[in-house]
């Protein structure tokens, strides 16, 4: 008797769910690409190379991103800046920068490794290609222009929402200290498992003034 009761209880749950789905009261399918689901703030999508507000490139060609990449899909070559007309504030800049998107696992380790927040990720994930060469994103495709516009490999792709290159996490990181501006005042990621007392993310001004205080001793 007990078993039969449990059986009918289970059937009731299944039947109820079926009814809600069939009648449209509980829709679990998104009609992509007609409808786009809102992505989480820290969604790992297509990369972008950022600039400083004055137009200087943030990449200093240090290759740390390439060293951190577990899929070995980043290739960087640095070149000395022209002292009269530097491309980046460092000694060097990344004059070759490539990411092979066929190998990328979108882990974000390159973003974590970068000392200047030059490489960040956006919310755009529509990147299908019909050949292997087009999946290799070059500096020209990754680097935003001086107005903050990010080029898309296929600007006419009907599936690619170009706005996602502008409104996503990676774009905001160009103007925030370490993460989207929305994370200011929010506790940072923990470097180790378990409880830890981490300071919240500061804003750019607070971080800059702390660095200058530290430098002054
Ligand atoms: S997201 Fe991960 S796999 Fe992709 S380029 Fe960056 S480090 Fe490499
Ligand atoms: S993107 Fe960042 S880590 Fe990679 S070479 Fe440029 S400055 Fe270095």
pLDDT digits (tens, 9 = 90+) for 46-61: 998 988 878 899 999 9
With respect to residue 85, please indicate whether it lies within any of the assigned structural domains: yes
With respect to residue 20, please indicate whether it lies within any of the assigned structural domains: no
With respect to residue 54, please indicate whether it lies within any of the assigned structural domains: yes
Measuring from atom 1 of ligand 1, which residue has the nearest CA? 106
Q: How confident is the model at residue 188 (pLDDT cuts 50, 70, 90)?
A: low
Question: What's residue 27's pLDDT?
Answer: 74
Residue 58 CA to ligand 2 centre (angstroms) = 8
CATH number for position 165: 3.30.70.3270
- Indicate which atom in ligand 1 lies nearest the CA of residue 121: 1
With respect to residue 55, please indicate whether it lies within any of the assigned structural domains: yes
With respect to residue 36, please indicate whether it lies within any of the assigned structural domains: no
By most ligand atoms within 8 Å of CB, the mutation choice from 71, 75, 100, 101 for ligand 1 is 71
With respect to residue 39, please indicate whether it lies within any of the assigned structural domains: no
pTM of the entire structure? 0.71
The finding on whether 144 has its CB within 6 A of some atom of ligand 2 is no
Of 80, 79, 109, the residue nearest 95 (C-alpha):
79
**Total number of domains constituting the chain:** 1
Mean pLDDT of the 94-117 span: 91
In this structure, is the dihedral angle defined by the CA atoms of residues 198, 201, 206 and 211, taken in order, positive or negative? positive
Please give the residue range of the domain that contains residue 175. Answer: 47-188+198-206
Burial 60-83 (b: 16+ CB within 10 A, else e): bbbbbbbebbeeebbbbebeebee
Question: What's residue 105's pLDDT?
Answer: 95
The finding on whether 95 has its CB within 6 A of some atom of ligand 1 is no
Of 125, 126, 123, the residue nearest 167 (C-alpha):
123
Measuring from atom 8 of ligand 2, which residue has the nearest CA? 62
- Burial grade of 162 (CB within 10 A; 0-12, 13-18, 19 or more): middle
Share of the chain above pLDDT 70, in %: 79
* Alpha carbons 163 and 123: distance in angstroms, whole number: 9
């Amino acid at each position: 008797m007990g078993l039969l009761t449990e059986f009918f209880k289970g059937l009731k749950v299944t039947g109820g769910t079926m009814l809600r789905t069939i009648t449209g009261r509980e829709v679990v399918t998104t009609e992509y690409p007609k409808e786009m689901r809102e992505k989480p703030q820290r969604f790992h999508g297509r990369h972008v190379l950022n600039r400083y507000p004055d137009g200087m490139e943030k990449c200093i060609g240090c290759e740390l991103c390439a060293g951190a990449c577990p899929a070995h899909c980043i290739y960087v070559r640095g070149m000395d800046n022209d002292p009269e007309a530097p491309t980046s504030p460092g000694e060097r800049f990344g004059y070759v920068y490539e990411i092979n998107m066929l190998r990328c696992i979108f882990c974000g380790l390159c973003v974590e490794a970068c000392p200047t927040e030059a490489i960040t990720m956006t919310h755009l994930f529509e990147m299908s290609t019909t050949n292997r060469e087009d999946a290799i994103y070059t500096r020209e495709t990754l680097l935003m222009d001086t107005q903050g516009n990010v080029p898309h490999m296929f600007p006419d792709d009907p599936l690619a929402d170009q706005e996602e290159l502008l409104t996503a996490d990676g774009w905001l990181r160009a103007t925030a200290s370490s993460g989207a501006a929305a994370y200011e005042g929010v506790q940072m990621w923990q470097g180790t498992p378990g409880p830890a007392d981490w300071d919240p993310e500061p804003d750019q001004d607070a971080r800059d003034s702390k660095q200058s205080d530290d430098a002054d001793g």
